[in-house]
Structure 1
Amino acid sequence: MAALRSHYAIFQGAKFLAENGHHLYFISTPNNMHRLPQIPDNLSSHLNFVQLPLPHAQGLPQGAESTAYFPIHQVPYLKQAQDMLQLALINFLKSSRSPSDIINGRRQKPEDFTVVPEWINFDFNIRFKLHEMMSHQEWMDSVSDLYCYRTVLKDCRAVIVRSCPEFEPEPCNVFSKLLQKPVLPVSLLPPSLRDYIVADVKWQVLKDGLDTKKEDQ
């Protein structure tokens, strides 16, 4: 069981780094991943699990992904299977997204904003129209709004958003992973009735009448 203990020790090390504000990808094979304990909710935006299926190597028992489950003379077969993970790992590193996608900004031209970003991993079809981005660019100062936005995101320690996970679970999760910073939803913050300036006399009369009613009326 030494292999499993070693795998668990690596997980504990990753968890410790995540608790101290670092952002990590924990890459392993499915069977080994399933044996790990579930991470706390407060670390879900800092520690991301990535499962890479282990290719089958001749001589390796089916489903075996750790030396804990076969004799030592079969270890070379496990190493062969692990070597075959090279392409899958390369593809993951090429396709993974980081804060540079927003902060450093691969989307520079107006046309870049007319398509859904690649890092959106859920059903989403909202995008800018080309004329909207062209109009925005025409009125842009020498220092662009996007540059200011990216500079603020880069230098801040956390981001507060006017939303909530219950209402927008996927965007909150993606935004946190993309920025690699804490994202703090503060709900939808509906305006208080006291903030309304009542200009309609009829509405004021109706409001006064409703204010006199009890909650169960």
Structure 2
Amino acid sequence: MAGDKQQQQEQTLHLVVFPWLAFGHLIPFLELSKRLAARGHAVTFVSTARNIARLPPEGLSGRVRMVALPLPAVDGLPEGAESTADVPPEKVELLKAAFDGLATPFADFLAAACAGDREEEEGVFGRKPDWIVLDFAHYWLCPIADEQQVPCAMFLIFTAAWVAYIGSREENINHPRVTVDDFKPMPTWFPSPPSLTFRHHEAAWIAASFRTNASGVSDIDRFWRTEQRCRLLLLRSCPELEPRLFPLIADVFRKPAVVPTGFLLPEDKSTTDATRSSAVRWLDEQPPRSVLFVALGSEAPVTAENVRELAAGLELSGERFVWALRPPSGAGGGGDGAAAAMLPEGFEARTRGRGVVCAGWVPQVRVLGHVAVGAFLTHCGWGSVTESLGFGGHPLVMLPFITDQGLIARMMAERGVGVEVARRGDDEGWFGADDVAAAVRRVMVEERKALALNARRLRDLVAGDDDGGRQEWYVDELVECFRRHSIITEESL
């Protein structure tokens, strides 16, 4: 029996998982951790104390161990700010500076984890980690891991198209992008349809990410300095959705493997919470496929003007809607009241009966899976788009803002599953009520059948079967990839 237990522990992987301090990153990393744990592996999940306390506890087991590192204070960073949700966009650079201060406590943690004499830890947790799974921002971590001879894998929560668009440092040296206009088209190493381009205001945001910020390092340099020392790249996507891009990325970044993890969608465990949700209770009373669900994520830079124009557009469209309304970017601690105060005067009264505004938490997975929902108005964050595919297969009304959101919107338009809200004034990307109403009518009425059919076909393609078996298969393959590439050699360090 002792031999069987030892053999089981030798087959079990111990992985350290360490995401960037944003809930759009923390949650996918946690979902990956839960799936690895469900397959019998041990996961040490590293973050800060406040972030760990705010993570959803559902689905966690004794095979996921939480380790909190102390986030150092940085001048100008609000006290208690430990994630991007705690700061306005202009303060995120300071959060990155604080994040870099985690290098020393992480080095201490890893040295202890690799010492092999941790009597307080039992089983696999007392054994040296087999892998560290890290994020784009950890340029200082790989040298620490190299000292302990632990291989690193970079897990990117973005689309494969976005990773291909950024490209390697070498490709960017050979084909430099300098002006904002240089960042609008896809690069020379990324063959793509002409429609996959960025607007001026989107390209300006991307160009800024190539420049050094208050942390002393640009976002793209963080990415390059990290990926160059990682043995594997893991992408939260799949070849069914992004054909040809996985081998392209492996070639561009010169990696032995670029591994799809699948979408890592959360389980729908919101049954009890849903009974307290006014959104779900209202949906129960609506006809099938008649309601537009509106949600722009937790951290999209939505302004008060954006909220007013969106509200006016929803009213003008005449369609039913449920709106998960969050405070505009920079609203600080105003909370739900700050969000509701942005609505046009009398809006809720004029739309009563066909629309509900929920200025607070909404169970998005449960809403997307509700029979009354017929389409999704989204900022095109990758997490929201994959949830829409996984839990409803809905056509999309698309209102992108930053990062890869514009690229995702154009990818979904190419697939025939969504319509983008028209933007005016290329420099600022302004949109008006008429633009919102026109896109909503196209998706909910004029092109509804074709868009819905394409969305369902895409859902079935990426799921593989009714139970989403193909998505789970990718996690199985990831485990095997960890095993195949786990041997450290001098050349790999």
TM-score (norm: length of structure 2): 0.20
Which of the pair is proportionally richer in strand?
Answer: 2
Structure showing greater radius of gyration is 1
With structure 1 as the length reference, what TM-score do the two structures score? 0.45
